[in-house]
Amino acid sequence: MGGLLELTARAEATHFWFRGFRTFVAPVLREIAAGRRDLRMIDCGCGTGYNLTTLLQPYGRAFAFDLTSDALRRARASGRPLVRADMEHIPFRSGSFDLATSFDVVQSVPDDRKALHEMARVLKPGGHVVLNVTALELLRGDHSEVWGELRRYTPQAAARLIEDAGLQVARITYLFASLVPLMLAVRSVQRLLRPFREEMRGDSDLTVPPAPINAALTTLVRGEVALGRYVGMPFGSSLLVVGRKAG
């Protein structure tokens, strides 16, 4: 896991996917905050901690936890309060937070329903859950294998997950539709070559492409974000899911 986190840390600032992810998520967080700067937030499975400063910092005080000690070591640079824990047993009191986030983690949690129940539990009435999860089973590839991905979600499955946790579905949106043709081609080649390769030791998806290609793909995704303000995407490699706790 340490090697994968090192690759993530190298890629997060400049890789087209991470840039696109933040461009998708930032307006949703801004809308939820509604001008507030005093939110109490918890990032569940914080990884390197990069999102604590780039996405959550403007809106209040962010807490975080992760299961791995290497992730916590890296995330301490954010200066935020951190603990070691897993999403099925969140070590905070019920009704503690205005916002609970989890970005590309839930698909690898053994009991995703229990994890969402825990996220809902620690929310205050009126609080929100924001998730980014993987979608489209046909896009399963090397990235899925090395990160221990257990499932990919449809909008219907994501809605059931939110509702089973006692939350109201506020938003479910496909992301990265513009990248699906490219990703489908890459994943298809990976599946064909897998029987002939040695055990995977890294994640080629986290390699930052040459600058012109990275810039072009960044522009492509940002174009999708702009279009998405007016029309929903019918497919995508990820789902952005927002749930709200009544109250």
**pTM (2 d.p.):** 0.93
pLDDT digits (tens, 9 = 90+) for 179-195: 999 999 988 888 887 77
DSSP 3-state helix, strand, coil percentages of the chain (rounded to 5)?
Answer: 50, 20, 30
Kindly report, residue by residue over 41-92, the tens digit of the pLDDT: 999 999 999 999 999 999 999 999 999 988 898 888 878 889 999 999 999 9
pLDDT greater than 90 at residue 122: yes
Q: Which residues contact 133 (CB under 8 A, 6 or more apart)?
A: 104, 106, 107, 152, 153, 158, 238, 239, 241
Count Cβ neighbours within 10 Å for each residue of 27-37 and write b for 16 or more, e otherwise. Answer: ebbeebbeeee
Angle at 11 between CA 4 and CA 224, to 5 degrees: 120
Rg, Å, the chain Cα set: 17
Q: What integer pLDDT is reported at residue 206 of this predicted model?
A: 87
Could you tell me the domains of the chain?
A: 2-244 (3.40.50.150)
| pLDDT tens per residue, range 12-52 | 999 999 999 999 999 999 999 999 999 999 999 999 999 99
pLDDT band (50, 70, 90) for residue 146: confident
Hunting for tokens 């390699």 — which residue is that? 207
User: Is 80 exceeded by the pLDDT of residue 157?
Assistant: yes
d(CA 247, CA 239) in angstroms, rounded, equals 25
H/E stretch holding 61 = strand 60-66
CB 101 within 8 A of CB 44: yes
Q: Cα separation of 236 and 221, whole Å?
A: 11
